[in-house]
Amino acid sequence: MSGSLFAPDDGPWAERLAAGTVLLHGWACADAERLLAAVDEVARRSPPRGMATPGGQAMSVTTTSCGDWGWVSDRRGYRYSAVDPDSGQPWPAMPAALRALARDAAEAAGFPGFDPDACLINCYLPGARMGLHQDKDERDFSAPIVSVSLGLPAVFLLGGSRRADPAAAMLLQHGDVLVWGGPDRMRFHGVKPVKPGEHPLLGGRRVNLTFRKAR
């Protein structure tokens, strides 16, 4: 017998899920330690914090950002801010390793020239989840969203452009990069509650990076 019937068992591979949606399996695995060091450096200056929805509900993830713009949510709404409201300082610059990963992944998914100005860092402990939503606080919908998953796996829900559209459930594992743009840019998406586990690099956590062109 030779090889796997399903997929190569070494190295990343691309799976096109729709015209504008590509799952790059294992794309970030080789770089994971470097990426996590960059994330830790960001988190040292702008620590992840719990935020509330505009309706006053506490979100179960903790969140920080790097880049020119950071995503914030509070009673005043969801928005991008040039300043970390906790520190009163600009967000940490986007580390070059993160920017390069996002650009290369976007290109591999068919979106060359992606130049993100915001990277949202969401941290999930077991039980943390994210309800179905669209990424629509950006000014420019012509750029894709590049989402990098690290640490514990999670079930990601990928819906359509209307909230009521059926959502496909897929497992996002450590190192997976999901890119959605073009006709799929406004897809609803969310994350089911993360199950407890132990990851060699991240312990009992999942970290998700989403790169966006905010302005």
Residues near ligand SIN (CB under 6 A): 120, 122, 130, 147, 149, 156, 172, 189, 191, 208, 210
> How far is the C-alpha of 27 from the C-alpha of 35, rounded, in Å?
12
Walk across the sheet containing 21-25 and list its strands: 13-18, 21-25, 177-180, 145-151, 206-212, 118-124, 58-67, 49-52
Within 135-164, which residues bind Fe ion (CB under 5 A)? 135
Query: Toward Fe ion, which CB reaches closer, 39 or 120?
Result: 120
Query: Toward Fe ion, which CB reaches closer, 13 or 134?
Result: 134
C-beta of 143: minimal distance to Fe ion in Å?
14
Query: Toward Fe ion, which CB reaches closer, 95 or 159?
Result: 159
> How far is the C-alpha of 66 from the C-alpha of 38, rounded, in Å?
10
Say whether 182 sits in a helix, a strand or coil.
helix
Using the rule CB under 5 A, is 176 a contact of Fe ion?
no
Cα R_g (the chain), whole angstroms: 16
Within 117-136, which residues bind Fe ion (CB under 5 A)? 135
Of ligand SIN, Fe ion, none, which one sits near residue 147, judging by CB under 5 to 8 A according to partner kind?
ligand SIN
C-beta of 2: minimal distance to ligand SIN in Å?
35
